[in-house]
Structure 1
Amino acid sequence: MNKSKLLGFALGPLGSAAIGFVTLPMLAWFFSAEDIGRIAMLQVATNFAVILFTFGLDQSYAREYHETADKPALLKAATLPGLATLAVLLLALLALKPGLLSQALFAVDDGTLSAIAAASILATFVSRFLSVILRMEEKGFAFSMSQVLPKLLFLALVVAYALAVPGRTFLMLVAAYTVSIVAVMFAYAWNTRHAWVPALAARLDRRRLRHLVAFGFPLIFGGVASWALMAMDRVFLRQLSTLTELGVFSVAASIAAAAGIVSSIFSTVWAPTVYRWAAEGDAQAKIDAVTHHLLAAVVLIFVATGLLSWVLALVLPATYDRVQYIVAASLAPPLLYALSECAAVGISLARRSMYSMAASFLAAAANVAGNYLLVPRLGAGGAAISTAVSFLLFLVVRTEFSCRVWRPVPRVRLYLATTAVTALAVAFVLYGERHRGLFLLMWAGLGLLSLAWFRSSLSLAARACAKAMQGVRLRATGLSPGLRRNGVQ
């Protein structure tokens, strides 16, 4: 993937993060922590439905994309089973007991809220497959605009509520959220119409479907385990704590997701790139180099978040004061997951998806146990600790499995660095409020050590930035870099 395509994919996470930094404080000021907790439960349910009902076929589609000539037929075979099943189930649920979905998610028996939640779930499912098309076609700018424009719409609705509506309700919040999700679906649909319109008329190839299911079916169980790994914190907070604690945790996780834009960019471009490398027979050295550079970025993001977390107390209401101590641990899910995607890519390349499932189950079991023990005592902080430790376990186990089925990879530095940042983030949750100054020194010390440990990655990044700035200056003079090198003034 060339630099222009990479930049196109990066615009989406970067723009989304920038909008999120504006939207999140507004939500915190104008809606209650309980309402934000309810939205978090909708996100949990949506993610579960998408992971379960894709039947792993979205990943099968990505795996087979470059090796299949009839791509419309491939898309239809991958999409139709899950879409039909999910649509029928949601319609039946709404017809038989309209308020059940709302009661389960929001603790409110309301048929309207159930219908809105169902629309959000179905739109997210469709968007998953449409986004994979753009990723595999490496259309970064279209992918990014499809992400950014709906978030701008959501921000506009929140601003409108803040300025014009005196009595803001949860119905308004969930409606704005769902409108943005549906807008995502339509944006993706427009940008991928060249792919899905022919797929409507394509013949459903049962042999192809069986081949896709053979690869994707084990990923259903692994996907559910991954969901449990990522979502058990919110589920246990909903059941064993309060909606306020769930809201505090959700704000910390949302900030961490914005800070984890490296993970978003990487996860978007990694699958199509590494499968292409594998097809070209040029993967091993490149994967090792990318893993090292990504590890450097992850460690420095942890350090920067720990050093600057105090800023959150200036922009959030007092209800969310503990977010500044939780946010570093909340970085573990997006960042350590991205590292595992890179370090353990051998599982996918070897088509041994059962090992990913096993790693997910082990880490999910650890997360269930950790949340059960810690959430009643520590609330949002306990959930953050349990999830951070579980994702570290997931990274280690998944990487070891990859080494077993594909080839050994350099991993001593990987394990030492991730253990160090995770341990410090966990200690920050437990003792940061009482020893803030000490932890600032510890984060700074780890940062200095990282600058020395990852100097090759930092030098590469510095050279890339210098080259980019040189290109900007040359374009500003109206000359291409090639002409300037040839001495044209």
Structure 2
Amino acid sequence: MNLFKSKLVKSLGIYTISNVINSAIPFLLLPLLTQNLATDDYGVLTNYNSLISIIIPFVSFNLMSSLQVIYIKNRPGFASYISSGLLTILALTLFFSALFYFNASNLAKLTGVPEELVIFTTFYATYQNIVEILLSIWRMEEKAWGYGVFRIVRTIVELSIATVLIISFNLSFEGSIYALAYSYGIGAIVAIFFMYRQGLLVWDFQWKHVKHLVTYGAPLIPHVLGSTLIMYTDKLVITKYEGLSSNGIYSVGFMVGQAIGLLQNSFNQAWVPYVFKGLKSGNEVVKQKIVKWTYIYFIAIILVTVVFYLCTPIIFSFLGKAYQDGIALVLWISLGFAFNGMYKMVSVYFFYTEKTNYIAIISIFTAVVNVFFVFWMVPKYGYTGAAIATMTAFFIQFLLTWAWSLRIVSMPWGNWKIWKN
């Protein structure tokens, strides 16, 4: 069968195109932010996004990941599992909201984010969790078009609100934060409506579901935190040693380089259901196809990264002059996200086998290495050192995960006959 006419390629095409369109929308917001925000303000905005990313796994216990396993393995009580998980999220939201309320002053000093915005961080994180839960369900149900339209519409709403608040009401970073909160808040309400219509919200709270959620999701908290530390430690350290202005310049360069991250994440969102179903079948031919696709992906993502970097000067020509120094960072950041995409291709085996504790160990180790490199390189080389440290951390994470995955699931990595099919 011709590889490029396969059902897999068509399925991946729908998911990837819809996600690329959605991921491209924030870049339309970037010139608006860089032209209207001082570098200090953009640094605060970046730190606030870091804060949300840190709290997300604590609030949700990564329900969006565990329900994928429940769905694909046809375990009974899927609706009860989702409902029990959502009630757990509500309880955790209230708990962490109180925690943030009493520590708002300290968090404001650390990040530069106003206290009144820090207090509501947990609610913003919960909105995002609810949206991602619905999208995870639709991915497993292969509702590609619904998935794509939902993501794109929500992002357009965010872009529209941010544009109005920043330009018409002269708000600074607050405009972007409010836009994020309002768009995800509306998205969460719509997501709950769709889940209710699908019969996925029932009055059937079961502790066994909460136990599985904690068993599966708790190890993913250090995993997500490890990834978050890799993503955001550099920005916090730059803020400490170089100031918010340098953090703003670095964050813009980081966001441009993150285009590779958005692209590989789009592919991964389509890749996970395919691999889960392939592993469940136990078919050796399907395993060979999975390995073949993985190798092709490794080559393709590096080539795309190189081509993207060559286009970097064109992208920065649309940004403010104050951010032009960020061009030098894009290659390192782009390569880092390429390695991160390669990591996701092999980490899927840990999620399917529910060996999330192993991947947590790798993530923690990698995060510690990243923190060491960032604190060592930023004082010496500034934000360029931070970009190199981040790339190195992602590369180490990929290699360790691939090596350990060999012990988790037997795959024909060394079978070169896969290229004959």
Alignment-derived partner of residue 73 in structure 1: 80
Q: What are the within-5 Å matches in structure 2 for residues 158-169 of structure 1?
A: 158-161=162-165, 163-165=167-169, 167-169=170-172
1-structure distance, mates of 2:415, 2:36 = 47
Alignment-derived partner of residue 409 in structure 2: 406
Structure 2 gap segments, 5+ residues each = 1-6
Aligned partner (choices 87, 93, 99) of residue 94 of structure 2: 87
Q: Residues 184 and 8 of structure 1: is their aligned pair in 2 closer, same or farther, counting only changes over 3 Å?
A: farther
- Determine whether 1:156 maps to 2:155: no
SS at 2:61 equivalent: coil
- Determine whether 1:125 maps to 2:129: yes
How far apart are residue 392 of structure 1 and its match?
A: 0.3
Q: TM-score, normalised by structure 1?
A: 0.76
How far apart are residue 263 of structure 1 and its match?
A: 0.9
1-structure distance, mates of 2:71, 2:99 = 34
How far apart are residue 324 of structure 1 and its match?
A: 1.5
Q: Over residues 131-169 of structure 1, what are the superposed CA-to-partner deviations in whole Å (9 max), with x where a residue is unaligned?
A: 22222222122222222122222322343356534x443
Q: What letter matches 2:188 in structure 1?
A: M
Q: Residues 409 and 365 of structure 1: is their aligned pair in 2 closer, same or farther, counting only changes over 3 Å?
A: farther
SS at 2:76 equivalent: coil
Q: Residues 190 and 380 of structure 1: is their aligned pair in 2 closer, same or farther, counting only changes over 3 Å?
A: farther
Aligned partner (choices 48, 51, 56) of residue 45 of structure 1: 51
How far apart are residue 385 of structure 1 and its match?
A: 0.8
2-structure distance, mates of 1:206, 1:161 = 44
Q: What letter matches 1:61 in structure 2?
A: L
Structure 1 vs Structure 2 CA RMSD: 2.7
SS at 2:57 equivalent: helix
Q: Over residues 370-400 of structure 1, what are the superposed CA-to-partner deviations in whole Å (9 max), with x where a residue is unaligned?
A: 1101122333222111110000000000100
Contact 1:116–1:175 under 8 Å retained in 2: no
SS at 1:312 equivalent: helix
How far apart are residue 171 of structure 1 and its match?
A: 2.7
Q: Over residues 98-127 of structure 1, what are the superposed CA-to-partner deviations in whole Å (9 max), with x where a residue is unaligned?
A: 65554443254x42x234534422312322
Report the structure number with the largest CA radius of gyration.
1
How far apart are residue 188 of structure 1 and its match?
A: 3.1
Contact 1:6–1:140 under 8 Å retained in 2: no
Structure 1 gap segments, 5+ residues each = 414-455, 461-489
Q: What are the within-5 Å matches in structure 2 for residues 413-428 of structure 1?
A: none
Q: TM-score, normalised by structure 2?
A: 0.87
Alignment-derived partner of residue 70 in structure 2: 64
Q: Residues 257 and 313 of structure 1: is their aligned pair in 2 closer, same or farther, counting only changes over 3 Å?
A: closer
Contact 1:135–1:268 under 8 Å retained in 2: yes
Q: What letter matches 1:353 in structure 2?
A: T
Q: Residues 33 and 184 of structure 1: is their aligned pair in 2 closer, same or farther, counting only changes over 3 Å?
A: farther
How far apart are residue 25 of structure 1 and its match?
A: 1.2
Q: What are the within-5 Å matches in structure 2 for residues 194-273 of structure 1?
A: 194-195=197-198, 198-201=200-203, 203-273=204-274
2-structure distance, mates of 1:189, 1:361 = 33
Q: What letter matches 1:83 in structure 2?
A: L
Alignment-derived partner of residue 296 in structure 1: 299
Q: Which has the bigger relative contact order, CA under 8 A and spacing at least 6?
A: 2
How far apart are residue 191 of structure 1 and its match?
A: 3.8
Q: Residues 290 and 372 of structure 1: is their aligned pair in 2 closer, same or farther, counting only changes over 3 Å?
A: same
Contact 1:130–1:188 under 8 Å retained in 2: yes
